[in-house]
Homo-oligomer: A and B are copies of this chain.
């Protein structure tokens, strides 16, 4: 692993450890930073750079060292391979892509034409949906359609 990804990972683990041993939940942190829940977690885990003020706020809430606060503001290298893919909670989403990925592709092309759903201009929400047979995880992905064009 490159040194910069290793340094980023160290910051990520510092945050995870701090959250696990603090009184703050991710939901608290998102509320305090006034940002969407998944964006907040993703940013604190290294997928988005935090603006200086949010980094400082997070640093205070979680009692992070200055080095970690500085690292949280750096432009990240996102998506380091499939290292975490086998974790069962994460794997289920990969499996869904295996089972329904081609169907999503066909549906997108039929409705929108030749192109993709942007993964950049895109947001993701998660919430709990009560159900008598057992509560459900509900995830909404909302991304701009981009047409292939020359």
Contacts and interface: CB of A to CB of B under 8 A. Distances in A.
Nearest to A19: B106
Q: Is the interface of A mostly helix, strand, loop or mixed?
A: mixed
A13 B20 CA distance: 21
Interface residues of A, number: 101
Interface of A: 1-7, 9-10, 12-13, 16-17, 20-21, 25-27, 36-39, 41-42, 45, 47-49, 70, 73-75, 77-112, 114-124, 126, 128-129, 131, 133-150
Given A3-B13, A7-B13, A131-B144, 10 more contacts: A38-B100, A42-B102, A79-B86, A81-B83, A85-B97, A88-B120, A89-B116, A90-B97, A91-B95, A137-B141
